[in-house]
């Protein structure tokens, strides 16, 4: 059982830090393997509440899941198979937005009726992109004023889809995984695309599992042509470390590393994950680090400089960027962050309010934050039941002037169940 209150005393950090594998890539690889014909192996899987939600879905579809050392052996169902259920399947997505938005079109493409539920703020997160498709295709669906539970009773049809990519790339990923299963070809035309790196992650995973998608840039629109009648192929896939989670350790090292630095094991900038830009920001502010054979070594750094960072392509970094800003002798302006108000919490409100309780100089804007250096004192803060807020506050506490008590710290388990144990391993 993970304690719901964590007490973090100011301290240095050192030794070797562990980074879980990419949650984004795990979701995609598990679903692709489950849809494939044959048997796949997914290595370096970090299990969390969100990943367990996706595993529950593929088990419900009939995929056979066998644990192997640090991974999974998955016998897929064959993506073209239809499973007509007399009663809709019940799909509990827990609090995983990725699970919900990925599987709704996949199950509809397979002709499977399903009722989707969740907990926390998941039921309030927008699904309008799919509702508009359902209406256009005259699909049968039921929802309570746009919230969960959602029941979809009709099959998705191939076609020409025009998507506003300014809400979430998760809708695009769901369609990219579903449309190849249909008999006829489809086209996705995406404008105002934000979080482009997540779409690139999807295309790379699909390629490795045998799915062909043609990409074309047309002015400010990304056009993806998807041949129909495709089959997912089995594959052996190793998930790389999570760049967004590594950002917590980069910040921790920059704030409080002992003389020898903090080694982040297996972390490499050679990734298509968009959240690798956190290291670029750290460097731009004067952060010190070096690449080694075993990973990335980060040193305590004197951060200084004025920076404006557009996080429209990397929204998950907002909480830990704000923490880094409180230790920077300059002004950090975070912009393009409006979408983080509809995550597990309103992250702009949450991180500004909780860091403010510790003495941070932070100003909330409609779609961003202004942050500048401040001497943080100890105190009691709340996680807002948000894993990234809880973990960011833990890092912020390292350089505070007194202990910080984080209420709701157990929320970190949503993406990183061992976070607090791993955190204490590097504390000196």
Residues annotated catalytic, as ranges = 316
Contact 123, 136 (CB under 8 A): no
- Write out the two tokens for 317: 């970094």
Q: The sheet that has 236-238: what strands, in order across it?
A: 64-68, 71-75, 39-43, 236-238
Q: In sequence order, what are the beta bridge partners of 40?
A: 74
Contact 33, 76 (CB under 8 A): yes
CB proximity list for 172: less than 8 A, separation 6 or greater = 163, 165, 188, 190, 193, 199, 202
How far is residue 323's CA from residue 352's CA, in Å, rounded to a whole number?
A: 10
Burial 330-369 (b: 16+ CB within 10 A, else e): eebbbebbbbbebbbbbbbebbbbbbeebbbebebeebbb
How far is residue 204's CA from residue 25's CA, in Å, rounded to a whole number?
A: 10
Closest CA to 201 of 76, 42, 26, 49: 26
Name the DSSP letter for residue 286. Answer: T
How far is residue 150's CA from residue 41's CA, in Å, rounded to a whole number?
A: 32
Name the DSSP letter for residue 149. Answer: E
Pair type for strands 5-8 and 404-407: antiparallel
CB proximity list for 46: less than 8 A, separation 6 or greater = 20, 21, 23, 26, 239, 242, 416
């Amino acid at each position: 059982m993970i304690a719901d209150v964590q007490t973090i005393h100011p301290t240095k950090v050192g030794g070797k830090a562990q980074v879980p594998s990419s949650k984004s890539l795990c979701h995609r690889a598990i679903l692709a393997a489950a849809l494939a014909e044959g048997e796949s192996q997914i290595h370096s899987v970090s299990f969390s509440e969100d990943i367990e939600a996706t595993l529950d879905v593929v088990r419900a579809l009939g995929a056979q899941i066998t644990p192997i050392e640090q991974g999974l052996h998955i016998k897929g169902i064959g993506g073209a198979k239809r499973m007509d259920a007399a009663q809709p399947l019940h799909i509990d997505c827990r609090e995983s937005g990725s699970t919900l938005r990925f599987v709704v079109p996949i199950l509809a493409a397979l002709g499977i009726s399903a009722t989707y539920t969740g907990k926390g703020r998941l039921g309030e997160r927008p699904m309008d992109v799919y509702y508009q498709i359902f209406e256009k295709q005259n699909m049968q669906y039921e929802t309570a004023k746009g919230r969960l539970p959602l029941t979809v009773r009709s099959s998705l049809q191939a076609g020409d889809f025009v998507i506003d990519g300014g809400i979430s790339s998760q809708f695009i990923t769901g369609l990219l995984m579903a449309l190849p299963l249909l008999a006829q070809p489809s086209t996705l035309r995406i404008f105002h695309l934000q979080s482009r790196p997540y779409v690139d992650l999807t295309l790379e995973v699909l390629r490795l599992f045998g799915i062909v998608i043609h990409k074309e840039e047309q002015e400010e629109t990304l056009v993806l042509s998807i041949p129909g009648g495709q089959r997912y192929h089995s594959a052996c896939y190793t998930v790389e470390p999570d760049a967004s989670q590594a950002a917590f350790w980069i910040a921790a090292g920059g704030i409080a590393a002992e003389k020898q630095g903090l080694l982040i094991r297996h972390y490499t900038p050679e990734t298509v994950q968009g959240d690798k830009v956190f290291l670029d920001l750290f460097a731009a502010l004067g952060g010190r680090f070096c690449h080694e054979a075993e990973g990335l070594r980060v040193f305590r750094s004197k951060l200084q400089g004025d920076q404006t960072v557009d996080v429209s392509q990397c929204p998950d970094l907002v909480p830990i960027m704000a923490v880094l800003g409180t230790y920077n002798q300059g002004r950090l302006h975070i912009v393009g962050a409006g979408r983080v108000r509809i995550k597990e919490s309103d992250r702009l409100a949450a991180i500004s309010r909780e860091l403010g309780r510790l003495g941070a100089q932070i100003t909330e804007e409609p779609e961003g934050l202004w942050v500048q250096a401040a001497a943080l004192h100890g105190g009691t803060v709340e996680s807002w039941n948000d894993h990234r807020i809880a973990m960011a506050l833990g890092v912020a506490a390292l350089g505070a002037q007194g202990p910080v008590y984080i209420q709701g710290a157990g929320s970190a388990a949503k993406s990183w169940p061992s976070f607090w144990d791993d955190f204490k391993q590097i504390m000196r």
